[in-house]
Amino acid sequence: MFIGATLGWAAPPSENLPQGGPAYPFASLGVQATWKASENLTLVGAIYNGTPARPDAADPEKANRHGLNFRLKDPPLVILESRLAFDGLNGLPGVLKLGGYGHFGRFDDLKYGTDGLVLGSPGSNDDPRRHRGNVNFYAIVDQQVWRAPGDDPQAGIGVFARVIAGRPDRNAISFYVDGGIVASGLVPGRPDDKFGIAAAYADFSPRLADVDRAENAASGLAGAVRRFEGIIEATYKAQLLPGFTVQPTLQYVVRPGSGPPEDGGKRIPNATVFGVTTVVTF
Decide if 97 is inside a domain: yes
Residue 36 lies in a domain: no
* pLDDT computed for residue 178 by the predictor: 98
| 264, containing H or E segment | none
- Preceding amide of 13 cis, omega within 30: no
Residue 123 belongs to domain with CATH number: 2.40.160
Residue 62 inside a domain? The answer is: no
- In DSSP notation, 48-105 reads EES-SS-TT-SSHHHHTTTS-----SSPEEEEEEEEEEEE-GGG-EEEEEEEEEEEEE
Whole-model pTM above 0.85? Answer: yes
Which one-letter DSSP state was computed for residue 3? -
Count the Cβ atoms, other than its own, within 10 Å of residue 84.
Answer: 15
- What pLDDT does residue 43 have? 98
User: Is residue 71 assigned to a domain?
Assistant: no
The set of residues, in sequence order, having a beta carbon less than 8 Å from that of 72 and lying 6+ positions away, is 29, 49
pLDDT tens digit at each of 282 positions of the chain: 999 999 999 999 999 999 999 988 888 999 999 999 999 999 999 999 999 888 888 888 888 887 777 888 899 999 999 999 999 878 899 999 999 999 999 999 999 999 999 999 999 999 999 999 999 999 999 999 999 988 888 899 999 999 999 999 999 999 999 999 999 998 888 889 999 999 999 999 999 999 999 988 888 877 788 899 999 999 999 999 999 999 999 999 999 988 664 555 567 889 999 999 999 998
Q: What is the C-alpha to C-alpha distance for residues 260 and 20, in angstroms, rounded to an integer?
A: 18
Could you tell me if residue 189 is inside a domain? yes
Question: DSSP secondary structure string, 177-239?
Answer: EEEEEEEES-BTTBTT-EEEEEEEEEEEPHHHHHHHHHHHHHHT-------EEEEEEEEEEEE
Residue 42 lies in a domain: no
Tally the domains of the chain. Answer: 1
Q: Would you state the pLDDT for residue 264?
A: 54
Structural domain contains residue 16: no
User: Which residue range forms the structural domain that includes residue 198?
Assistant: 83-280
